[in-house]
Amino acid sequence: MSIDALIASRLLALRQAQDLSLAELAELSGVSKAMISKVERAQSSPTAMILGRLAAGLGVSLAELLVDDTAPSQRLRKKAAQAIWRDPEAGYLRRQVAERKPEGGVEMVEVELPRSTRITYPKWSGQPYRQHLWLVEGGLRIEYGDEVFELEPGDCLDFGVDRPLVFKTLGRSACRYLLVVS
């Protein structure tokens, strides 16, 4: 199944599970009904900003839109089996290293942001969660509500999704980081 088909089926299933109409999800997320419909029919590849707004409107983590929850859990996840999604506009690359299991634990995501990239996410409408970001390469500026953090390789930032977020690469190169979500 392609990543766009997976996103389409997950978005539709999550919207229906919450008994939301297209109009209701559009109002909650700030994404137009037409765009939601296109994403649900796999006729459009959503950007990171659109996925973030949809996840926030549904009150779920971004991973819940990108991960096949019907796949069996495995102790060893080879790199080739890890789901990858690329933002069609910004080139943002997201690798789902490990999914959070229903019984608890952590989720691990590797992200590569091209240079001169700015990604914005709204405050989540559901149960906020915490995440740790460990910067591996490059420079990254994170705006967490009114707070601003500039990270260098090796820095680790603890923050939540309870405020609007902005991620911006710094300098002349891309950046790569690991997110651990709890």
CATH code, 55: 1.10.260.40
Helices (H), the chain: 3-17, 22-29, 33-40, 48-58, 63-66
Question: Which residues constitute the domain of residue 24?
Answer: 3-66
Does 60 map to a domain?
yes
Both 42 and 128 in one domain: the answer is no
84 with 173, same domain? yes
- Say whether 56 sits in a helix, a strand or coil: helix
Q: Are residues 34 and 96 in the same domain?
A: no
Are residues 95 and 44 located together in one domain of the fold?
Answer: no
My answer on whether 100 and 16 are in the same domain is no
Q: Are 61 and 121 in contact (CB under 8 A)?
A: no
The dihedral built from the CA positions of residue 110, 179, 164 and 3, taken in this order, carries a sign that is positive
C-alpha span between 122 and 143 (Å, rounded): 11
Same domain as 168, residue 90: yes
Given this model, what pLDDT does residue 155 score? 98
Instruction: For residue 94, list its beta bridge partners.
Output: 85, 111
- Do 85 and 160 lie in one domain? The reply is yes
Q: Which two tokens stand for residue 122?
A: 């709204």
**Separation of alpha carbons 27 and 4, rounded Å:** 23
Determine the pLDDT at residue 100: 75
**Which amino acid would we find at residue 85?**
W
pLDDT at 69: 67
Q: What is the pLDDT of residue 83?
A: 84
Helix (H) or strand (E) holding 166: strand 165-170
Helix (H/G/I), strand (E/B), else coil: 23? helix
Q: Residues 84, 146: one domain? A: yes
Domains: count for the chain: 2
d(CA 151, CA 6): 33
pLDDT-flagged residues of the chain (< 50): none
CA–CA gap between residue 51 and residue 131 (Å, rounded): 18
Instruction: Give the model's pLDDT for residue 102.
Output: 64
Cβ neighbours around 63 below 10 Å, total? 21
Residue 170 three-state SS:
strand
Other Cβ atoms less than 10 A from the Cβ of 167: the count is 20
